[in-house]
Amino acid sequence: MKLFTHKVAVITGAGSGIGRALAQQLSTEGALLALSDVNKEGLEETKANLKGTGKVILTTLDVADRGAFEQYAKDTITEFGQVDMLFNNAGVALAQTVENCSYEDFEWLMNINFWGVVYGTKSFLPHMLTRPEAAIVNISSIFGIIALPTQSQYNATKFAVRGFTESLRQEVKDSNLYVGCVHPGGIKTNIVVNGRMHASMLGEQTHAQQIEEFNKMARTTPTEAAHTILNGVRKNKRRILIGQDAKFMDRVQRLFPEKYTSIFGALLKLAR
């Protein structure tokens, strides 16, 4: 898909971060937008900052609610008459050890990060396969490629998104549908703000201090991330890595598939 003019794009998690930046860039390129988020105020702020003139509809949506997502897909297709692009972008974070993580927290994370992608994909897929050209873009993470301590739950969701997306791509390879998987490194978004960071994982830091530390380490802006994603769609890239940190970690993992954890552990100690 080279041009986005007059395409209808569905973006989850559009109330901030990468979702908002995707909406802004697609709007300037003439796309029509169906934007959703659990944060109504964030959605309205996103819409207020769009510079395009195409139609925009806002929907408060919990992507973990399968019935709501299925209805959202029906309503969106009815409203626009078509959907050409789907960005399964909504996501949250969690930091905890396997031993201490509650099932409640694990299920909360999995329901949003993984099942939200599945619900979105399955709800729109039959329609999108009828379009002359279409794109499904699922947001994984560099943590869908490497694994680190206290990130087992987050790793599980993002590895699952990667596997689901790569399998889907093979299933539809002879169709009109492009399927891409995105692996961002550190992006300056609200994912830590909205995440569940337990006191045992914070050490002597407050949540506010952890947010500040994350923002210092996150070198890539949402605008840069959106630009990279859309360029990846244009080029039919199967795996879209965002940020020099993601590219570096991916390269180390490929070169040292069994030793990369020790390498990153040493680097993390030095950084601290």
What domains are there in the chain, each with its CATH number?
8-245 (3.40.50.720)
Supply 249's token pair: 């970690």
Q: How far apart are CA 72 and CA 14, in angstroms?
A: 15
Closest by alpha carbon to 160, among 96, 106, 114, 91? 114
Q: How far apart are CA 268 and CA 237, in angstroms?
A: 30
Segment 100-114, tens digit of pLDDT? 999 999 999 999 999
Strands (DSSP E) contained in the chain are: 8-11, 32-37, 56-60, 85-88, 94-95, 134-139, 177-184, 196-197, 239-242
**pTM value?**
0.89
Q: Is residue 217 very low, low, confident or very high in pLDDT (cuts 50, 70, 90)?
A: low
Give burial (CB, 10 Å; 0-12/13-18/19+) of 219: middle
- Given this model, what pLDDT does residue 35 score? 98
Segment 173-195, tens digit of pLDDT? 999 999 999 999 988 665 555 55
- 220 bridge partner residues: 187
Supply 246's token pair: 């993601």
Amino acid letter, residue 261: T
Predicted confidence (pLDDT) at residue 272 exceeds the cutoff of 90: no
Catalytic residue (choose from 119, 154, 178, 260): 154
Supply 214's token pair: 């994350």
- Given this model, what pLDDT does residue 264 score? 80
Active site residue 72: no
Q: How far apart are CA 56 and CA 3, in angstroms?
A: 18
Closest by alpha carbon to 180, among 124, 230, 122, 252? 230
DSSP state of 36: E
Closest by alpha carbon to 40, among 18, 23, 71, 15? 15
Radius of gyration of the chain (CA): 18
Q: How far apart are CA 253 and CA 247, in angstroms?
A: 10
- Given this model, what pLDDT does residue 228 score? 97
The mean pLDDT value of the chain amounts to 90
